[in-house]
Structure 1
Amino acid sequence: MKSAQPDRADRGRFQLRLALLVALGVFAQESVWNFHDSQTPVTLAQYTTSVALIGLIMGLDNIIGIFVQPLMGFLSDRTRSRWGRRTPFILIGVPVAALLFVLIPLAPAFPILIAVIVLFSLTANSFKPVTEALIADQQLPQHRSKGNALGRAASSLTIIVSALLSLFVVDESVELAYIIAAAVMVGCFAILVFTLREQRTAGYLAVVDEDREAGVEKPGFFAILKEIVTDRDRSRLFMIAAIIVTWGSWAAIRALLTLYGVEQLGLSRGDAGGFTLPAGVAFLVVVIPVAILSDRFGRRLMMRLGIIVFALGALIAFAFNTSSTATLIGVLVAACGFAGFAVNATVMLWNLAPSQRLIGIYTGIFAVAQAIGSSAGPATVGLLVDATDWGFLMLFLAGISLVGLLLTFGVRREYAPEQLAEATFVEAERAEIAHADEAGAKQARVEADRES
């Protein structure tokens, strides 16, 4: 049996071109989601004055995602077609989601608007895990942190795109702004699909070869979930729990930071809301270096260090909880720390999957853990603040994040040995593809010489 840590001498190459292409797909889907979160509440407010109802409708996408994303990831894992296993879902889902998105500001009545939003959320959630699974499909296990970091960076850039659309287009034409966002999504996905050509990639060909050699019946959806729960090695369960808790801390700081600035620091709503921009920039700056360090020194170490830095940032803000400057510094430190966890959390689940053929459903499982944390985190911290005072917010965040740190110590390995064995299939396919391309180019040169 192979060791859990791959030999440094046999690390293969990071596929930068493929990583950038997949990051383009992540950018495409997240640009629409960010604009949806920014502007659709205003559209809903034209029909209702209930903030609770607006919040409920806008939260439906998380609820839908909990059920849809694991299932669609599972279905894409089992798909083999002339377009690959992920691409068919993108080819069907993206145009439908784009059309539904464009219809949101055009809905003539409130019930129709709700129906369009629900259908959009259902469709967009159906290819979200499929797109993200491509990150793992196209990289060897030891290089997935860098691929995921590029995806996270692309996702962060969509905040800027959404803000620019809001600033320069929305006041002129809301409908045009939705059309532009949808067109960006379709255009980027078209580049991804027709440039990547998944059916010819080494990752897909290796999966097909493994199907042929293994000849093992593919496990069902619930059998996969049962295997995670009943496995004597609890690494995956602890990793899922760590994602819920740590992502909940990050979601809480994002959701409650503006209100904290108003209530605790006495800032205006606009000034308090400005805390999130520097934090987003800090995350964007450190995400790539964190990925490189993770591939070099190990993902568990970088996750744990990231959580510790997050907790230190929260404690800085708590220690000087009447200073807006100290709060800003604390939030910046916390954002840099969270990058260490965010870059590696998905990758840890990918690499702990017993086979590369199950990457899609493990992407969906991550999405469920993330959604649970994003919902439970702000609610839990809010209850603690209600029971005490706003001055303790940052202390609660530090404490909860340290619970996440403790959970990571239950993750006893970084790789499933089966996936390290499967990586040899991918490397073999890449070598074969490169040899075939080289032979084809040589033959073309010979024929050209003959003609001349």
Structure 2
Amino acid sequence: MTSRLNYGKTFLLGFGFFGVSVIWGVYNAFVPIFLANKFHISAGVIGFFMTLDNIAALFIQPPVGAWSDRVRTPLGRRIPFILVGAPISAIAFGLIPVAAVLPLFVACTSTLLLSAALWRTPVVALMPDITPSAFRSQANGIINFMGGVGTIIALQTGGILFDMSPNFPFWLGSALVILAALVVYLFIEEPKEYEIKSDENRNSVSGFFGFVREKFLVSMSGLVAVAAVVALLSMTFPDLRTVGSEFGLPPYLILGLIFLAAWFVYLYVFYMAREVIFEQEKSGLRILLAIFFWFIGFSAVETFFTLYAEKHLGLTAGTGATLLSVLPLFFVLFAIPSGFIAGKIGRRMTISIGLVIIIVMMVLLYITPAEALLTGIAPLPLVGIPVVEGGARMLTLAGVLLIFGGIGWAFININSLPMIVDLTGAEKIGTYTGLYYLFSTLSAIVGPISNGIAIELTNNNYNIIMAIAPVFFAIALVMMLGVRRGEATA
């Protein structure tokens, strides 16, 4: 590993994240359309279906990250996962639009979800593998910039191609994933110095199963509690029976399998990360909890903003989506600068500034009247909105606040993964990358549910998300104030 940032290799590695972003950009935009128009699936079941990627990531990415730490092949410890997972993802993704019947469609999407979860953690873990600690924030900014470009291509080009043929955006995505995997394979060389003997590998595996045996009684009591919760949910929520009828499975079986898999994965991750949980100095646990809480807050905006724009601001859903688009746009624009800012003032300080920016942004959105939020400030093509019907696209006060939100989110998101991986040595980078995805993905599941309940309890007042989300960001800020490790080292 060199003592400086290799910009060329970092941009080339960014193609891996570029490929991941293209897939999910197209998937999230167009799979619901197939489910609704082609297979006539209800909205509730579509919502459940679209959470399966988070569920797959929650169960698969953490143990795969830990597994990749222990793999040793002539190609390295991360590349084999990419060479296996990326082609399978590309093939399954390309078959999604041509699946004529629902079971085949589900088979293609399930294969995609499983294979994509297999290689995402290893490709992200490659960044700290090949980048010195002092430059990991800058490198993560470059990689997230590439991911943002992938998302923009997926949405902009994908939308044009979808109007030509529903197959085209998926086939483009498949081709770009193969290209991205080839670029990583051909141009990224993994470090060779991390070795592990075969008997050490066996001991780590036997140690895990010994840990499971040790926690057997705890596991059994947990599973009994899970069974009781599953039974209660099955009796309480009729929507679960709808899910079962659509997919031919009883709801208790669906939930039971999910909870059983979750229990095993959490035992595994708990074993791999026990030093983070039980270490005397709690910086690692504080950072992971901060990640969990700020993603819950961000999911409120991401999930419900178009409804907030429609119900509170009086905009159409399409105009609301356009208004929100300035946030990810400025996240991409500030992805690289935020890494360099952290290199100057520190990661914890940069993240804390980002949290304060977003808290202020959301509070101002909450307390400012809707009419004032839609005040036109300056002409802004493409991502501006018409403040009067048929008028020119304008940058509004709400748009300005969302621009600051995108900048703050870049400060937070770009520097959190480097802090996590710098809590450990090179031999456990994949494990800690998996922990990052564990907490962020869990919040992506919990966040929309908890924020949705809050909206219902306030008589469908969508403005309430701008009051609740800052609370989660404030909790994250408190967590970050106690962090003492995770900064770049020489």
Normalised to the residue count of structure 1, the TM-score between the two structures is 0.84
In the TM superposition, 1:309-328 aligns within 5 A as 309-322=357-370, 323-324=373-374, 325-328=396-399
| Percent of matched pairs sharing the same residue | 25
Output the CA distance in 2 between the equivalents of 1:42 and 1:144.
Answer: 38
- Whether contact under 8 Å (1:321, 1:391) holds in the other structure is no
1:267 counterpart SS class: coil
Q: Which residue of 1 aligns with 2:189?
A: 197
In the TM superposition, 1:210-359 aligns within 5 A as 211=196, 222-322=270-370, 323-324=373-374, 325-353=396-424, 355-359=425-429
Number of aligned residue pairs? 398
Q: Which residue of 2 aligns with 1:72?
A: 64
Q: CA deviation at 1:131?
A: 0.5
Output the CA distance in 2 between the equivalents of 1:345 and 1:415.
Answer: 10
Classify 1:20/1:166 alpha carbon distance in 2 versus 1 (closer, same or farther; 3 Å). closer
Which moves more between the two structures, 321-330 or 233-242? 321-330
Q: CA deviation at 1:313?
A: 0.9
Q: For 1:314-335, what per-residue CA distance to the aligned partner results, in whole angstroms no more than 9, with x for missing partners?
A: 1221221412333222222122
- Whether contact under 8 Å (1:315, 1:330) holds in the other structure is no
AA in 2 matched with 1:177: P
2:483 counterpart SS class: coil
Q: Which of 115, 127, 131 lines up with 1:135 in the alignment? A: 127
Q: Which residue of 1 aligns with 2:194?
A: 207
AA in 1 matched with 2:313: L
Q: Which residue of 2 aligns with 1:122?
A: 114
Output the CA distance in 1 between the equivalents of 2:408 and 2:169.
Answer: 34
- Whether contact under 8 Å (1:71, 1:364) holds in the other structure is yes
Q: CA deviation at 1:367?
A: 0.8
Q: CA deviation at 1:368?
A: 1.2
Output the CA distance in 2 between the equivalents of 1:106 and 1:167.
Answer: 18
Q: For 1:346-372, what per-residue CA distance to the aligned partner results, in whole angstroms no more than 9, with x for missing partners?
A: 11110112x211111111111111111
Q: Which residue of 2 aligns with 1:93?
A: 85
Which moves more between the two structures, 329-338 or 62-71? 329-338
- Whether contact under 8 Å (1:320, 1:327) holds in the other structure is no
- Whether contact under 8 Å (2:307, 2:462) holds in the other structure is no
Q: CA deviation at 1:29?
A: 1.6
Matched, 1:164 2:234: no
Matched, 1:395 2:395: no
AA in 2 matched with 1:268: T
Cα RMSD (Å) of the superposition? Answer: 2.0
Matched, 1:26 2:17: yes
2:420 counterpart SS class: helix
Which moves more between the two structures, 177-186 or 157-166? 157-166
2:41 counterpart SS class: coil
AA in 1 matched with 2:93: F
Q: CA deviation at 1:206?
A: 2.9
- Whether contact under 8 Å (2:18, 2:149) holds in the other structure is yes
AA in 2 matched with 1:412: R
Q: CA deviation at 1:205?
A: 2.1
1:206 counterpart SS class: coil
Output the CA distance in 1 between the equivalents of 2:52 and 2:185.
Answer: 29
Output the CA distance in 2 between the equivalents of 1:409 and 1:78.
Answer: 33
AA in 2 matched with 1:391: N
Matched, 1:361 2:431: yes
Output the CA distance in 1 between the equivalents of 2:58 and 2:463.
Answer: 33
Q: Which residue of 2 aligns with 1:14?
A: 5
AA in 2 matched with 1:346: L
- Whether contact under 8 Å (1:90, 1:131) holds in the other structure is yes
Output the CA distance in 1 between the equivalents of 2:159 and 2:51.
Answer: 24
Output the CA distance in 2 between the equivalents of 1:159 and 1:319.
Answer: 32
Q: CA deviation at 1:415?
A: 4.9
Output the CA distance in 2 between the equivalents of 1:314 and 1:180.
Answer: 37
1:13 counterpart SS class: coil
Q: Which of 104, 109, 126 lines up with 1:112 in the alignment? A: 104
Output the CA distance in 2 between the equivalents of 1:41 and 1:144.
Answer: 36
- Whether contact under 8 Å (2:295, 2:443) holds in the other structure is yes
AA in 2 matched with 1:370: S
In structure 1, runs of 5+ residues without a counterpart are 1-10, 199-203, 424-452
Q: For 1:156-206, what per-residue CA distance to the aligned partner results, in whole angstroms no more than 9, with x for missing partners?
A: 1122211233332112222232111100110121012111133xxxxx123
Output the CA distance in 1 between the equivalents of 2:24 and 2:136.
Answer: 24
